[in-house]
Structure 1
Amino acid sequence: MTNLTLPSVLAFDRKLEPSDAIMHSGKWVNIEDSTQWQEIELFDRRNRAVKSNFKQEVLDNEEELQKQIAEANLAWGDDAALAHDNDTLKISFSLRIVGGLDQPSVCNKVEFERCYRETISEYTDSSLEELAKRYAYNIANGRFLWRNRVGAQDAKVFVTHSSLSSPLEFNAYDFPLNKTTSDDTSIKVLAQLIKAGLAGNENTLLTINAYVKLGEGQRVWPSQEMVLNSPKGEKSRHLFNLNGQAAIHCEKIGNALRTIDDWYPDAMAPIAIEAYGSVTQRGVAYRSSKNDFKTLLLKWLNNGSVSNEDKHFVAAMVIRGGVFGEGES
């Protein structure tokens, strides 16, 4: 058979669909009382700061440097914090898990789609549990809390599903961020729920509530909005909110859940599933053109030698979703 090549148009719908996460303020002792939590509203913070970032031509001109150092750096932006008599942050979101891994949303090459469906269906039947366990682990460890997880006194995550008589409860710090799996019984239960959704056996909807004991009045960290070319003198930091309530973007939640790739070469810690293993905060792509998504997908479909780890990566990319036709990146 002639080797398959990528279609000019190929796309997959996302299979993990988190909602935006909303933030509440309350007390650790009231974790089990949902009526005792108040919305966290954004407020303006204005500071007279100092300048510490200069162009090289300014650094080379002592007179100009001294002039600019003397000028105040007026900072104006959104901020968010717990109420001063509250010590705990609550973050809530839902997660919809969608099946149909074997069905591209768009594919304009019939033979490619036929082979893809056969290959991914076989994977779904035999190997999906590994990915489900990793997604479950990232719910249990509260990775989706991001900076709100750092240095807390305590952190708990509760997961509810219609089939459960009581929520699954996790102590987030029992599950280190530099690992991806655990033999914990509750994680195994959660993984089975996720697997059932990904396999298309049921329409899985999870509700996640996380509680982080930060300390009374402590600052919290919603998502930051990207604002291009903010005029001088205007607000420079805009935080995400839903009707004024501090919140975290669904994309940021999704990035945390898919931080399961420790299959890349010389892996030190898991990174988010991306076609080339890109980590923009570090300016590094950990997957070269030899072990990127498109290369491994074609190799697998053409019956090349592909490790189980690489198959997991390819399937996780399908779950991530995106446009991957020939020439697309």
Structure 2
Amino acid sequence: MKLPQRFSYRRSLSPSIGVFTYVNKQGEERSLPFKTVKVLGQKEGVAEGFDNKMIPKASATAKKLGEGNPHTIEYCHVPYDANRVFCRFSLTVNANSIAPEVCNDTEVIEAMSEFVKSYIAVKGYNYLAERYLIQIISGAWLWRNQYSLGTTIRIRTHKGRNLVAENVQPHSGQKGWQQNLAGWADLVDEFSEALINPGTFLLCEVEAEIIPITCQEIYPSQAFSDRDSADTAGRIFQKTMVDGTESPILGAYKIGAAIAQIDDWLDDAVEPLRVGQYGVDKKISAALRTPENGLDFFSTITQVEQLTDEINAKKQSNNRAHFLAANLIKGGLFQKGAAN
């Protein structure tokens, strides 16, 4: 299959921002506060003492390096009187990966339709639905906020499903524990159906209830800012309004990244990667799926007919099919652009 000049998919998973609140000892739920603080750090980093060729700078004297390094940051912690912290977000699931949103080539539309039919027939979407839900119910989307005295995750759907996983941290690294949760199989089916049936959708309300330690630091998403002066905070949080008060959040992009961190379908990945066209491993700042090794999305999608034939012949899916379908669920612009 050749990539057309107009070819795109709309994303199928749309998370909201994650909003923090806390409950005090009187049982009152309030917005999570934050503050701007000035700290006196040390002069650290290679650039303080060396140039780009690792030659010591003349300015890097003992006196100069011993000077303080004042800077301003935003800081967030659990209030002293808090006994619970909540983080909540919503997720909308649609069947947008079933067909391109835009495509100017009927042969491509037909090839993609045949792939989707074959992938549905071998329960591929059920597999992906469970992988996404595992990321949600395990609390992976909390990132550095996962570590506490105990975390309970709840998923409620607009269809009346209510699933609860208590004290999820001890299950970290264990496989299959989610299958013992009451209603898990039914939730996977609902999620999968929303991914494959254009006539339906799924709305999920997700809540993490965290038991914190005293004044535990909270890690909201950071926002980019231009520093106008030394008094301007160099690290600021993404925020929203909660009951008329500005409060820090987890960004929708960050939550979505955690939900999509399921790409373990190649041998070189130490841990699952975020689904993406080139399989980027941020820890090593390198792509593991490249045009050179042929494991990238574009090399895969241009072989979609062969991939469909493999699925039909073996009556089962494979890692390449999972990778392709997950990228269709992610959505994006896939066209090659104007002809040369």
Measured against the shorter chain, the TM-score band is: 0.7 to 0.9
Q: d(CA) in 1 for partners of 2:211 and 2:56? A: 47
User: Displacement, 1:177?
Assistant: 5.1
1:191 aligns with 2:188: yes
CA RMSD in angstroms comes to 2.5
Pair 249,312 (structure 1): closer, same or farther in 2 beyond 3 Å: same
Q: 1:287 aligns with which of 273, 285, 289?
A: 289
Pair 226,125 (structure 1): closer, same or farther in 2 beyond 3 Å: farther
The range that moved more, 247-256 or 121-130, is 121-130
1:21 aligns with 2:25: no
Pair 102,275 (structure 1): closer, same or farther in 2 beyond 3 Å: same
User: Displacement, 1:189?
Assistant: 2.9
User: Displacement, 1:71?
Assistant: 2.9
The amino acid of 1:214's aligned partner reads P
Q: Is the 8 A contact 1:155 1:173 kept in 2?
A: yes
The amino acid of 1:247's aligned partner reads I
Q: 2:329 aligns with which of 305, 310, 319?
A: 319
Q: d(CA) in 2 for partners of 1:96 and 1:165? A: 15
Match of 1:214 in 2: 212
Alignment of 1:1-329 (within 5 A): 4-26=1-23, 36-55=28-47, 56-57=50-51, 60-61=56-57, 64-126=60-122, 127-150=124-147, 152-164=148-160, 166-176=162-172, 182-186=178-182, 187-200=184-197, 202-227=200-225, 229-233=226-230, 234-243=232-241, 244-289=246-291, 290-303=294-307, 308-326=318-336
Q: Is the 8 A contact 2:11 2:96 kept in 1?
A: no
Q: Is the 8 A contact 1:137 1:175 kept in 2?
A: no
Q: d(CA) in 1 for partners of 2:330 and 2:161? A: 30
Q: Is the 8 A contact 1:129 1:195 kept in 2?
A: yes
User: Displacement, 1:62?
Assistant: 5.6
Q: d(CA) in 2 for partners of 1:9 and 1:240? A: 34
The amino acid of 1:13's aligned partner reads R
Q: d(CA) in 2 for partners of 1:273 and 1:181? A: 23
Secondary structure at 1:261 match in 2: coil
Gaps spanning 5+ residues in structure 2: where? 312-316
Secondary structure at 1:266 match in 2: coil
Count of residues in correspondence between the two structures: 318
Gaps spanning 5+ residues in structure 1: where? none
User: Displacement, 1:100?
Assistant: 3.0
- Give per-residue Cα distances to partners, 1:90-148, cap 9 Å, x unaligned: 10011110113222112122211122122213323432110011011111100000000
The amino acid of 1:237's aligned partner reads R
TM-score normalised over the length of structure 1: 0.88
Identity of aligned residues (%): 22
The amino acid of 1:25's aligned partner reads Y
The amino acid of 1:223's aligned partner reads S
Pair 83,184 (structure 1): closer, same or farther in 2 beyond 3 Å: same
Q: Is the 8 A contact 2:98 2:196 kept in 1?
A: no
User: Displacement, 1:181?
Assistant: 8.0
The range that moved more, 97-106 or 179-188, is 179-188
Q: Is the 8 A contact 2:77 2:215 kept in 1?
A: yes
The range that moved more, 90-99 or 318-327, is 318-327
Q: Is the 8 A contact 1:180 1:270 kept in 2?
A: no
Q: Is the 8 A contact 1:6 1:298 kept in 2?
A: yes
User: Displacement, 1:67?
Assistant: 4.3
User: Displacement, 1:248?
Assistant: 0.6
Pair 104,41 (structure 1): closer, same or farther in 2 beyond 3 Å: same
The amino acid of 1:15's aligned partner reads S
Q: d(CA) in 2 for partners of 1:175 and 1:286? A: 28
User: Displacement, 1:6?
Assistant: 0.7
